[in-house]
Structure 1
Amino acid sequence: MNKITTMLIAAGLTGSLSACVATSESVKTTPDQKSAPVAVAPVSPDVEKTGDTNQTITLNQIMSDPAWLGRQPENMGWSVDGSELVYERERENSELNDVYAASVASPAQATKVPLSELHRYRYDERVESLDGQYTAYRFEDSVFVLMPTGENVQLTRGGAALENLHFMTDNRLMAQSGNRIIAIDLQTGRREQLISWTFAEEPEAVSEPEDFVASEQISLIEYIAKRRKDRQDRVDEADALAKQNSAVAPEPFYFDESDRLVAATVSPNGKTAIVVTTEDTSWRGDTDIMPHYIQEDGRIDSKNVRRRVADAKPQSDTIWLIDLTEQTKTELSYVQLPGYNEDVLAEVKAENAKAKGETYEVNRLPRDIGLLDSWYWREPSIRWHDNGDQVAVMLEAWDNKDRWIATVDFEQQSLVSQHRLHDDAWVNYRFNQFGWLHNSETLFYQSEHTGYAHLYLQEPGQSPRALTRGQFIVDNPVVTRDDNWIYYTANKKHPGVYEVYRVNTDSGESQALTDLNGMTDFSLSPDESTLLLAHSKVTRPPELYVKAANTNSEPTKITDTISGKFLSMPWAVPQVIAVPSSDASQPVYARVYLPENYQEGEPRKAVIFNHGAGYLQNAHLGWSGYFREFMFHSMLVQQGYVVLDMDFRASAGYGRDWRTAIYRQMGTPEVQDLRDGVDWLVENANVDRGRIGTYGGSYGGFLTFMALFTDPDLFQAGAALRPVTDWAHYNWGYTSNILNTPDVDPIAYRKSSPIYYAEGLESALLINAPMVDDNVFFQDSVRLVQRLIELEKENFETAIYPVEPHGFVQPSSWLDEYRRIYKLFETNL
């Protein structure tokens, strides 16, 4: 059985790391009804140390094309008919991927799928009819249907694209084609237009007279009156014909010509549609551009980029309920949503007004509300029940403080709030699945209202029922067709260990389906009998496993793709520790990389790595997306460094309070956590407080700035890579969650942006800036450099990367970047 070391850290932990390590024992699952321990650490990954310790880890090797690690499986899934498991691997000496497939009976004997058969294994959409007879799917520009006979029929090849596939209750296939939704009878091939729409002024047969003269003309001249009546009769006749004769398609629905479509969907029974529109405002201005200097023609190209949060304007959506039988449309009001007109930012606005010597009065104006379409959420926000008699919509407030799940009362033509998730900071949209059970009018959804993302069921007229509970995160829920189970992943055993579970929707009993320790994800086969697993460990990239979708079988490993060269290297094996926090009730989980005999000799130099994305988890026991950094840290350890990689506050995996600690003060809690990390290194890992550096990219670059600028004695050197320097210049989707918007909350932006603290720089600073970064603009670094020049700072350097986007691509750029980082530490530590 896999082994992991666990223990509770006592309050005020001090002393050597060896004193913190308990005897190895299996990590046990924390029952749903109990809270996880406050601090579990340290954890030793259950991997064997391999590799030749005489080999030297070099930057040239670890920053070269990562194909040398082995070509790991990616994008796992199932063939269209569900009979074979499918995954991809990068083609040797190419950026392209090849697709591989294997039967469940012989899962380790995968073969490469020929291009001629690729449409049977990969798809962009896949839907099944309610009775299971038909499977429809879209591949590239074609739509196929697996018939009950087993025949694979190609419905389209090119032409007008069909997308957003759904089956109707009568087994017709629905699809959107441009500005219309059609239904296709798979037996006869007959196509019917269910709805169409256009954004234009609706033509009128007759209109009201514009003035007195026109009114008198109509009443006095019989010829004019007759022409008006004839026109109206023709329109009435056409409307009646469309309603009574199936050979005629109904007229399109007209919407304001200044609007655009957000979503359109028809109920499975074909009776009702939901259309969502919004004002057609451009999010790009003339100055939202980025120059790209290195082009084939030797000229400069100008790329369009997103607008800044400082330029964001409030926006609402309009939801239309369409009766397809009567051909009528009704706007649904948000008045029924609890809190629809609360002034949720009143305190923030009052604080900012006071800073300007003004006063603010609370208002009760309706808030800007629309379909959920956030930074993290890209799933459909309108969900029909299979029977077509119910529909649920997920809505968000533009101010990010509320998320509603509402159903629609078709008779009353109104929204009915089923669940309101409010957060005084911001709502977490990452763990946010919702929908209907198949065989009852019961909603399931995820909510973070207890502080952790969990699963809930809501039956009509009843209070929500929790299916999971505890201090852990639930993710990736999948409901079985019989509604008996919901499969999911969770970090129950330890914040850094993710396993696969399923919960019974009736009893609420959860069952652990894997015990692999590390990071494990799953894909449930279409027949719901088999789990395809992707599992990784801290020193091992992901490999694939299969197991029966029950508790009675063990996973079987089916891929072995890691290269011999990678296995031969003497990688450091980090432990996951819990650093006591001086500012929070929970510890700060971190990976610590320790050289052999680290307690012996003079105090050592150390580096703290700051991960990017802000809301990301890296102190886990699986393979990290920061694999180059893992290898770089191993190189530093081989040279005697100690390395710490912290999941500072704002990181994912630790619940709502950890996430929202940075609300309106980005960079303050995190730097406090970094100071706790420095203290831990000094007290437990024989580190010299005067020889510690830090580095990180994106959010990690921002945090490097904040540490060096606001706590100058903390680090002796820092490298900020592709860094944010002023949050007013970042995007709306991410930043407005945490800092509101600059027009509403300038205090938060000035408090959280490094450019306002640049005068605090004392230690050595390296700024590495890619020039074609459409995420964090190159301008961020340019403005800060100018600020440092004006402040007459001397101890900083800047490196630019002319062809690199936010995530570097060229191995030569990676090598150059990390040579500079390494030189910074070697010179200053």
Structure 2
Amino acid sequence: MNKVGLFRSVGVALALALSSTAASAQDRPAPHAPVHGGAKVAGTSLSIDELYRTKSLIGTTPEGYSWAADGDTVLFLWNDEGYSFRDIWSYSVRTGKKTRLTFLGRDSKPEAEQKGIAQAVALDRGRVAFTLGGQLHIREANGTVTPVETDKQAVRKLAVSPDGTRLAFISGNPVDTRNRVTLGGVLWVRDVTAKGGNAARRVAGDDDPKVYIGDFQWSADGKAIAFEQSDDRAMPERDIYYYAKGGLQNNRVIRAFPGDETTKATVGVVTLASGDVRFFERPNAKDHIWDYGLSNDGKRLFVSGSDMEAKEHSIYVFDVASGTRETFYQLREAKHLRPDWKVAWAPRDDGLIILTDRDGWLHLYHQRAAGEAPRQITSGRWEIESFAVDGKRGQLYFTANESYIPDRQLYRVPVAGGAIERLSGAAAGTHQPVYSPDFRHIADWYSNDTTPPELFLIDTAKPGKAVQVTKSPQPEFYTQTWANIGYVEFPSHVDGTNLVARLSLPANYDPAKRYPVIVGSVYSDAVRNQWGGRRAHPTWGLDQYFVAQGYIVLNVNIRGSWGQGRDHNQTQYQSYGETDINDLESGVRYLVEKGYADPRRIGIWGSSYGGLMTIMSLAKKPGVYAAGIAGAPATNVWHAYPSQMWIMGPPDGADMPARYEAQSALYQAKGIKDALMIIHGTRDPVVLYSDTIALIEGMIQREQMFELVTLPGANHAWASDNLPQARFAFKKMVDFFDRNVKNRE
């Protein structure tokens, strides 16, 4: 079989996928045929500036789905013209009508409010509460918009009580007089019928901005609220000095390194009638909290958490009235990496539904009583990402990659067990659901490799059928030729483990040619069947540009990624810059062996952890890559977040400091011989710019060549700060790869 046949044999045309039955693992991907007539072209003819412009070519993603209590109307945030400011829209399930509710984008100040409205929730009689610029507003049924609670800042996390009578929200502390590095978080409750003014009542929260409420949940009867409170007072503050805007700036942050004091987290419950607050302590308050929730009768509270290294999963159940604690569930796995556990109360409060990988794959279990062996509900060599409980009908709704590793499809299964039912139809792609209160409908964020995200409505009584609510791309989007995207599988060249990769080919791909290749952006969880691959990074246009210029782009699902089971990712334990970069090299070897790639013209790039892998790859595998670009590279794991200890281990033991130095590019850079560019923002609080300086100081002393692109005042997500900065950085990347990879002599 020739290499085109090999690639296309794992795919099927999108039109066929939409009309076929559920796809198997061999029914990947959905290659995109050129829209132009005549000879095929490489890809889009657009420049970086045209791909990344103020009026987005791919449109503005509909976000922030929120259902009204009656389940008839869903609110969402969108801009139908492709601008970044999102106004409020509604869609009626009953009438099928889509309506724009606010028009604030016309009067917005793009620099201050470029993302528009942050959240909207339905109140009574057609009224809507929403946040804009950190301030709470009410839209009346007649369209009038009034700012309320004007004495509060950083308002967020709006949630209406189940009975529809009260609105709860978090805000920053009313006055931040101590110039602290955080605004804190205080919990407020406001009657939905209140007209204007500052009518909210403070129900929980501390005056110290380092003690803050980050999240909360209403009880089923609306009489109490459970909340998570964090205490950062023991954590160190760090000054990040940098020059920008003509002078010295300081980004002061609360920031712990491995071994430092960390956040102390606890769950509390406030009874609204009395104002009484009770906190529920766990054996170790420094352990992570991953889930918590009140039972439907309000009498019990579960708290799901783990140790700092995510090796021991514990669920405690408390009696709300007395505070008595019992250990409901506990499981320790010495090499466990990912805290993907999720927990919820079973229907009728009959124990807990637990998402856990105790059999090696993330599946659903029902445990009725403390210490009881959990009963497995789903099983198979695939994984569940999230779930929701329909208590009235005894059903569990969930997203999973049962169809294929890069997919996230929608399913349901009875709590009692049995066959799972797919709700999302036959087309491949990624679904992110928001369920109506009665579970009769799903507001579905859907995208695939050839389709930018849109809002769809699914009637759960009619599985496989959906109504498209939004159409976001601009007309020019449909006139372009985009990359031909598919998936390939290959064994690790080190241990034979099966690996999956997303492969983007030019539309005029010629099997007789060997192409330059860009591996990246490299990261964990980098293989997703959705527009651009990784939702968190705006590199869709950069990838398309590279392909149009005659590159192949490869993304590998490295070890440590979600979706292929616990054994698959456990080999990443204490192995930053080792197992992961071997997986990337396996992808390169596969492309060379099958005739896709010119082995002399391979580039690699990634940001943050991807920057670590890029530098480690150049250092440990000279000659495999002609060049690499490391964005905001995490070169020193001594300065990682403490939570990263679930991979790199604690900063103690007989094998220290050698273990941390082995996982830090800062200490491994001596082997770099190939071309390297580093892109880093000076304000970055996640990966310190000073670590990049430490790296390049060593390279200068060793007379190793590199290029440094400094972005003054840029944050960690340097490609998302603003369009001019993103375009500048992307153009620097294109020039670097063209010089050192594509046009290499």
Name the TM tier (shorter chain).
0.7 to 0.9
2:23 matches 1:75 = no
SS in 2 for 1:69: coil
Could you report, residue by residue, the CA deviation over 1:321-356 in whole angstroms, capped at 9, with x for unpaired residues? 999999999997757xxxxxxxxxxxxxxxxxxxxx
Query: Which residue does 1:688 correspond to in 2?
Result: 598
Which amino acid is the alignment partner of residue 632 of structure 1?
L
In the TM superposition, 1:33-432 aligns within 5 A as: 40=25, 43-45=28-30, 47-51=32-36, 56-65=45-54, 67-79=56-68, 81-90=70-79, 95-107=84-96, 109-113=98-102, 139-140=130-131, 281-285=233-237, 288-295=238-245, 298-310=246-258, 312-313=260-261, 368-370=284-286, 372-373=288-289, 377=290, 381-409=291-319, 414-426=324-336, 428-429=338-339, 431-432=340-341
2:643 matches 1:738 = no
Change (3 A) 1:171 1:557: closer
**Structure 1 residues 444-453 or 158-167, which shifts more?**
158-167
**Structure 1 residues 774-783 or 735-744, which shifts more?**
735-744
Change (3 A) 1:485 1:304: same
Aligned counterparts of 1:814 and 1:180: Cα–Cα separation in 2: 35
Contact 1:261 1:276 in 2 (8 A): yes
Change (3 A) 1:107 1:777: farther
Which amino acid is the alignment partner of residue 526 of structure 2?
Q
Question: How far did residue 444 of structure 1 move?
Answer: 1.5
Could you report, residue by residue, the CA deviation over 1:740-784 in whole angstroms, capped at 9, with x for unpaired residues? 343455333111111111110111111111222222222222111
Change (3 A) 1:617 1:451: farther
In the TM superposition, 1:487-498 aligns within 5 A as: 487-498=397-408
Aligned counterparts of 1:126 and 1:100: Cα–Cα separation in 2: 11
Query: Which residue does 1:572 correspond to in 2?
Result: 483
Question: How far did residue 65 of structure 1 move?
Answer: 4.0
2:367 matches 1:455 = no
Aligned counterparts of 1:42 and 1:716: Cα–Cα separation in 2: 34
Query: Which residue does 1:440 correspond to in 2?
Result: 349
Query: Which residue does 1:708 correspond to in 2?
Result: 618
Which amino acid is the alignment partner of residue 18 of structure 1?
G
Contact 2:518 2:602 in 1 (8 A): yes
Change (3 A) 1:138 1:17: same
Aligned counterparts of 1:123 and 1:434: Cα–Cα separation in 2: 27
SS in 2 for 1:671: helix
Alignment TM-score, normalising by the size of structure 1: 0.72
Query: Which residue does 1:203 correspond to in 2?
Result: none
1:747 to 658, 665, 669: 658
SS in 1 for 2:386: strand
Aligned counterparts of 2:366 and 2:127: Cα–Cα separation in 1: 29
Question: How far did residue 561 of structure 1 move?
Answer: 2.1
Query: Which residue does 2:430 correspond to in 1?
Result: 519
Contact 2:87 2:100 in 1 (8 A): no
SS in 1 for 2:520: strand
Question: How far did residue 105 of structure 1 move?
Answer: 3.7
Aligned counterparts of 2:200 and 2:77: Cα–Cα separation in 1: 38
Contact 1:572 1:634 in 2 (8 A): yes
Aligned counterparts of 2:723 and 2:189: Cα–Cα separation in 1: 50
SS in 2 for 1:493: coil
Aligned counterparts of 1:325 and 1:93: Cα–Cα separation in 2: 46
Question: How far did residue 308 of structure 1 move?
Answer: 4.2
2:664 matches 1:664 = no
SS in 1 for 2:683: coil
Query: Which residue does 1:543 correspond to in 2?
Result: 454
2:709 to 799, 804, 811: 799
Could you report, residue by residue, the CA deviation over 1:643-696 in whole angstroms, capped at 9, with x for unpaired residues? 322122222332323333222110101111122112111111342222212112
Contact 1:665 1:748 in 2 (8 A): no
Alignment TM-score, normalising by the size of structure 2: 0.79
Aligned counterparts of 1:138 and 1:759: Cα–Cα separation in 2: 56
1:558 to 438, 455, 469: 469
Superposition RMSD in Å: 4.6
Aligned counterparts of 1:752 and 1:724: Cα–Cα separation in 2: 10
Aligned counterparts of 2:279 and 2:68: Cα–Cα separation in 1: 42
Question: How far did residue 541 of structure 1 move?
Answer: 0.3
Question: How far did residue 536 of structure 1 move?
Answer: 1.3
Contact 2:204 2:277 in 1 (8 A): no
Contact 1:123 1:137 in 2 (8 A): no
Question: How far did residue 407 of structure 1 move?
Answer: 1.1
Query: Which residue does 1:218 correspond to in 2?
Result: none
Query: Which residue does 2:180 correspond to in 1?
Result: none
Aligned counterparts of 1:312 and 1:632: Cα–Cα separation in 2: 38
Contact 2:159 2:167 in 1 (8 A): yes
Question: How far did residue 801 of structure 1 move?
Answer: 1.3
Aligned counterparts of 2:222 and 2:98: Cα–Cα separation in 1: 45
Which sections of structure 2, spanning at least 5 residues, go unmatched?
Answer: 106-116, 141-145, 174-184
Question: How far did residue 509 of structure 1 move?
Answer: 3.0
Which amino acid is the alignment partner of residue 828 of structure 1?
N
Change (3 A) 1:307 1:517: same
Q: Percent identity?
A: 20
SS in 1 for 2:502: strand
Larger radius of gyration, structure 1 or 2?
1
Query: Which residue does 1:592 correspond to in 2?
Result: 503
Question: How far did residue 309 of structure 1 move?
Answer: 1.4
Question: How far did residue 369 of structure 1 move?
Answer: 4.3
Aligned counterparts of 1:19 and 1:721: Cα–Cα separation in 2: 33
Which amino acid is the alignment partner of residue 236 of structure 2?
R
Contact 1:472 1:490 in 2 (8 A): yes
2:383 matches 1:473 = yes
Question: How far did residue 464 of structure 1 move?
Answer: 1.4
Aligned counterparts of 2:403 and 2:587: Cα–Cα separation in 1: 24
Query: Which residue does 2:727 correspond to in 1?
Result: 815
Question: How far did residue 705 of structure 1 move?
Answer: 0.3
Contact 1:521 1:534 in 2 (8 A): yes
Change (3 A) 1:581 1:138: same
Aligned counterparts of 2:219 and 2:599: Cα–Cα separation in 1: 64
Change (3 A) 1:599 1:505: same
2:681 to 770, 776, 798: 770
Change (3 A) 1:558 1:263: closer
Which amino acid is the alignment partner of residue 351 of structure 2?
T
Question: How far did residue 110 of structure 1 move?
Answer: 3.5
Contact 2:205 2:211 in 1 (8 A): no
Aligned counterparts of 1:449 and 1:398: Cα–Cα separation in 2: 19
Aligned counterparts of 2:391 and 2:79: Cα–Cα separation in 1: 34
Query: Which residue does 1:608 correspond to in 2?
Result: 519
Query: Which residue does 1:632 correspond to in 2?
Result: 542
Change (3 A) 1:267 1:523: closer
Aligned counterparts of 1:797 and 1:67: Cα–Cα separation in 2: 31
Aligned counterparts of 2:214 and 2:277: Cα–Cα separation in 1: 16
SS in 2 for 1:783: helix
Contact 2:446 2:454 in 1 (8 A): yes
Contact 1:407 1:417 in 2 (8 A): yes
Aligned counterparts of 2:665 and 2:321: Cα–Cα separation in 1: 54
Aligned counterparts of 1:372 and 1:418: Cα–Cα separation in 2: 17
Which sections of structure 1, spanning at least 5 residues, go unmatched?
Answer: 1-13, 31-35, 117-121, 147-153, 201-257, 336-367
Question: How far did residue 789 of structure 1 move?
Answer: 0.5
Q: Which runs of 4+ in 1 moved over 4 A?
A: 23-30, 51-55, 91-94, 122-128, 133-146, 156-188, 191-200, 258-280, 314-335, 409-413, 596-602
Query: Which residue does 1:220 correspond to in 2?
Result: none
